[in-house]
């Protein structure tokens, strides 16, 4: 009986391994002519954000694409503080450990996201046992413990961290988050200080959306100068690039690349997607708390994306990648915010229930027709 059980276990393991191998081989055959990470290897890393099904390799089609196409990964959700430390002093590293192990196993650049953010921070972080705001000293101590516990756990394993996320508003002013209200603007400087102490060799980033808006761009530049002047170790600035078909303009994005690079830091595209859906308002960014009611008019492509819209999306992606290649000496990474269209947060934000097509791979994890055009840009550059 024991021998039979051992044989059955071995056969099951072999079947799982064979299935996973077949999925990877199938993905590779389908996309041999469109291997993104190979095409851009002399320019910048090509990354993607992973959800839990991909981290735990439950979605074999998605995992096959990740392993074939990308050489950098970022945790979409599992490294945010609400998941890592849901209760004070109670850390849950199960998913984050798996994410880092996945990256190491596949020899990928590993990016941690995100240490300090006004959203998806557990409520306890800011209040005492009576529900009142904690003192400045208490919040600094909590921030330090969280950052240093997380960063030191992955010291030498995580390449870079989004230390602070979205602290500047579109008008260039500081976001009046709880971190800002209780600690003041010094919270960013302290966050970078604590992260650097925990892992002096890790790259440390500030990350934000709508960075092509001139007032916001200038606000971020002013803030980073302030942090660097105070001794903060800012390695790079992330442009999230949650874009639309007609906004922002390529020229304004280029100004942001040049402005950020002028600070003496790396520039990276950290959360790229391009929505084909109507925007609720101009300069729609990525304010996670923004929500609007569903209407059929705002969800025009529920049955599929028309050929002319796919062509328009492709041209837009080619325009952006042309810009990134032009400035490859300044840009270290371009990361897509999701693997396939079905994974994208844009299907539910800012209007729940919509069907969007914002990524390079469709809902079946097949490359869209224009991916080959993006790759062709690298061939032109060689000539």
Residue 24 within a domain: no
Residue 190 pLDDT more than 50?
yes
Q: What is the pLDDT of residues 138-176, one digit of tens each?
A: 999 999 999 999 999 999 999 999 999 999 999 999 999
Residue 19 within a domain: no
Residue 178 within a domain: yes
What does pLDDT average to over the chain?
92
Query: What integer pLDDT is reported at residue 27 of this predicted model?
Result: 45
Q: What is the pLDDT of residues 17-48, one digit of tens each?
A: 555 555 445 444 444 467 999 999 999 999 99
**Tokens 């302030």 found at:** 226
When pLDDT is averaged across residues 100-104 and rounded to a whole number, the result is 98
Give the range among 18-27, 272-281, 368-377 with minimum mean pLDDT: 18-27
- Report the percent of the chain where pLDDT is more than 70: 90
Residue 6 pLDDT more than 60?
no
Determine contact, residues 61/20, Cβ cutoff 8 Å.
no
Residue 354 within a domain: yes
Query: What integer pLDDT is reported at residue 254 of this predicted model?
Result: 98
Query: What integer pLDDT is reported at residue 288 of this predicted model?
Result: 75
Residue 23 within a domain: no
Query: What integer pLDDT is reported at residue 92 of this predicted model?
Result: 98
Query: What integer pLDDT is reported at residue 333 of this predicted model?
Result: 98
Q: What is the pLDDT of residues 284-334, one digit of tens each?
A: 777 777 888 888 889 999 999 999 999 999 999 999 999 999 999 999 999
Query: What integer pLDDT is reported at residue 379 of this predicted model?
Result: 86
Residue 255 within a domain: yes
SS3 per-residue string spanning the chain: CHHHHHHHHHHHHHHHHHHHHHHHHHHHHHHCCCCHHHHCCCCCEEEEEECHHHHCCCCHHHHHHHHHHCCEEEECCCCCHHHHCCECCECCCHHHHHHHHHHHHCCCEEEEEEEEECCCCCHHHHECCCCCECCHHHHHHHHHHHHHHHHHHCCCCCCEEEEEECCECCCCCECCCHHHHHHCCHHHHHHHHHHHHHCCCCEEEEEECCCCCHHHHHHHHHHHHHHHHCCCCCCEEEECCEEECCCCCHHHHHHHHHHHHCCCCEEEEEEEEEECCCCCCCCCCCCCCCCCCCCHHHCCCCCCCCHHHHHHHHHHHHHHHHHHHHCCCCEEEEEECCCEHHHCHHHCCCCCCCCCCCCCECCCCCECCCHHHHHHHHHHHHC
Query: What integer pLDDT is reported at residue 4 of this predicted model?
Result: 45
Catalytic residues: 166, 271
Residue 3 within a domain: no
Range of the domain at 269: 33-286+296-382
- The domain that contains 281 carries what CATH number? 3.20.20.80
Q: How many domains does the chain have?
A: 1
When pLDDT is averaged across residues 177-190 and rounded to a whole number, the result is 98
pTM for the model stands at 0.90
Query: What integer pLDDT is reported at residue 370 of this predicted model?
Result: 98
When pLDDT is averaged across residues 71-84 and rounded to a whole number, the result is 98
Residue 4 within a domain: no
Q: What is the pLDDT of residues 115-147, one digit of tens each?
A: 999 999 999 999 999 999 999 999 999 999 999
């Amino acid at each position: 009986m024991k021998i039979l059980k051992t044989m059955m276990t071995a056969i099951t393991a072999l079947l799982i391994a064979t299935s996973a191998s077949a999925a990877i081989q199938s993905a590779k055959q389908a996309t041999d002519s469109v291997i993104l990470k190979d095409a851009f290897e002399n320019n910048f890393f090509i990354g993607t954000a992973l959800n839990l099904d991909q981290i735990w390799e439950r979605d074999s089609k998605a995992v096959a694409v990740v392993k074939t196409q990308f050489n950098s990964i970022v945790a979409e959700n599992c490294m945010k503080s609400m998941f890592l430390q849901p209760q004070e002093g109670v850390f849950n590293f199960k998913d984050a450990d798996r994410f880092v192990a996945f990256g190491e196993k596949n020899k990928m650049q590993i990016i941690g996201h995100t240490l300090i953010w006004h959203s998806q921070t557990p409520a306890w972080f800011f209040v005492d046992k009576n529900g009142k705001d904690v003192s400045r000293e208490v919040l600094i101590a909590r921030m330090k413990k969280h950052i240093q516990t997380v960063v030191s756990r992955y010291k030498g394993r995580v390449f870079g961290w989004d230390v602070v996320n979205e602290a500047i508003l579109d008008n260039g002013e500081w976001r009046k988050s709880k971190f800002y209200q209780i600690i003041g603007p010094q919270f960013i400087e302290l966050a970078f200080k604590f992260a650097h102490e925990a892992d002096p060799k890790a790259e440390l980033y500030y990350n934000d959306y709508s960075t092509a808006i001139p007032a916001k761009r200038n606000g971020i530049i002013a803030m980073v100068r302030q942090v660097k002047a105070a001794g903060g170790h800012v390695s790079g600035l992330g442009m999230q690039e949650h874009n639309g078909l007609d906004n922002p303009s390529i020229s304004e994005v280029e100004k942001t690349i040049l402005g950020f690079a002028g600070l003496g830091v790396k520039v990276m595209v950290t959360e790229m997607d391009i929505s084909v859906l109507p925007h609720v308002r101009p300069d729609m960014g990525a304010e996670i708390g923004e929500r609007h009611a569903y209407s059929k008019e705002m969800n025009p492509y529920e049955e599929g994306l028309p050929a002319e819209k796919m062509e328009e999306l492709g041209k837009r992606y080619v325009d952006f990648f042309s810009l990134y290649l032009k400035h490859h000496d300044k840009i270290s990474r371009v990361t897509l915010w999701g693997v396939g269209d079905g994974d994208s947060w844009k299907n539910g934000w800012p209007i729940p229930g919509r069907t969007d097509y914002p990524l390079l791979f469709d809902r079946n994890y097949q490359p869209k027709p224009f991916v080959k055009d993006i790759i062709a840009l690298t061939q032109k550059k060689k000539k």
